[in-house]
Amino acid sequence: MRPPDRSPGVESALLLALAAAPHAAPAPAGAVAVALLTLGWLVLAPRPRREMAVGAVGFLLALLLAGASAWLAAAPLSAPEEEAAQVARLERAYWSSLAAEVEAAARLLPELPLEGDRLRAAFESLARSAAAAGSPRRTFLLFDPAGEAAAWSGAGLLHDLAAPALPASGSGFVQSASSATLFAIASPASGWRLVAAESRSRLEDPPLAGRDAGRFRARPWFLADAGEPQAAAGRLHLEGAPAGADLATAAGLARAAAGVAALTLLALAALRALGLALLAGTVVP
């Protein structure tokens, strides 16, 4: 049985709106508009059961993704006290992870002092530690008892970590007007110091670790008592208004919703083309 006649004007208007919605409205509103318009297209222009099933599944998924995106984007702002407590917890997690990485890297080093093949093994060991680190920014530096860099690997640093100015162990930071270098130190042998460090722009993601760290992306930040290396790590302060939603995740879900809607439209077009080909008596390979 053939489906009811469709209104070409209504169908064309809906398809044009579908094409424009992701660009005319910001996420997640664009994704919500895409999902609602596609559902309207199915309701106002009825089609065979096969197409209805494909469209219903695809657009339901798009609506769920768009709804999750809208819910994240509309999350209320945190109170200043609540944000401060959360930032302190995530900052402690960051320093703990940095300290754990330098301790793990120290255990993988060859026997010290470095002589002959052990020097090459030290470079290879630090390269493996840098590759396995939790951030692509990580740099590892091994200082001998004289304060000279004996081996190193990683992305490099924006600040000079001179051995005489570093504490014997623990963690700290060096900061300038636009960036900061954060580090943790372990002692793999008497007099030797292994440093795990990374440099960050103060306009980029703050040094936080944990599931909720994404809420504070792209917030300007600074570390208190800047200037000289600090023996006690911490003192992170965020600038700007308290954080609200994880906007990066919300935008990703909105893009996923629009993508699912687009793939559903493509699948419906393929089904229609197949139906027309069969009706025309065309042999479909």
Q: Is 234's pLDDT higher than 70? A: no
Average pLDDT of span 42-50: 65
**Euclidean distance between CA atoms 188 and 199, whole angstroms:** 23
Q: Give the sign of the dihedral formed by CA 217, CA 222, CA 228, CA 230.
A: negative
Q: Is 148's pLDDT higher than 90? A: yes
Average pLDDT of span 99-104: 96
Q: Is 281's pLDDT higher than 70? A: no
- pLDDT: is 82 or 99 the higher one? 99
Range with the lowest mean pLDDT among 84-98, 128-142, 238-252?
238-252
Which range, 81-95, 161-175, 187-201, 204-218, has the best average confidence (pLDDT)?
187-201
Helices (H), the chain: 8-24, 29-44, 49-73, 80-108, 117-132, 247-279
Range with the lowest mean pLDDT among 68-82, 156-170, 252-266?
68-82
CB neighbours of 99 closer than 8 A, spacing ≥ 6? 171, 184, 186
- pLDDT: is 132 or 230 the higher one? 132
Average pLDDT of span 234-256: 70
Structure confidence at residue 1 (pLDDT): 44
Structure confidence at residue 61 (pLDDT): 82
Structure confidence at residue 231 (pLDDT): 45
The mean pLDDT of the chain is: 78
**Euclidean distance between CA atoms 174 and 191, whole angstroms:** 22
Structure confidence at residue 284 (pLDDT): 45
Type and span of the H or E element at 275: helix 247-279
Question: If you compute the radius of gyration of the chain from its CA atoms, what whole number of angstroms results?
Answer: 28
Q: Is 94's pLDDT higher than 70? A: yes
Structure confidence at residue 212 (pLDDT): 81
Average pLDDT of span 177-200: 94
Q: Is 268's pLDDT higher than 90? A: no
Query: Which pLDDT band, with edges at 50, 70 and 90, does 77 fall under?
Result: low
Q: Is 4's pLDDT higher than 90? A: no
Q: Is 102's pLDDT higher than 80? A: yes
Q: Is 184's pLDDT higher than 90? A: yes
Q: Is 2's pLDDT higher than 50? A: no
Which range, 13-27, 175-189, 200-214, has the best average confidence (pLDDT)?
175-189
pTM of the model: 0.59
Structure confidence at residue 19 (pLDDT): 58
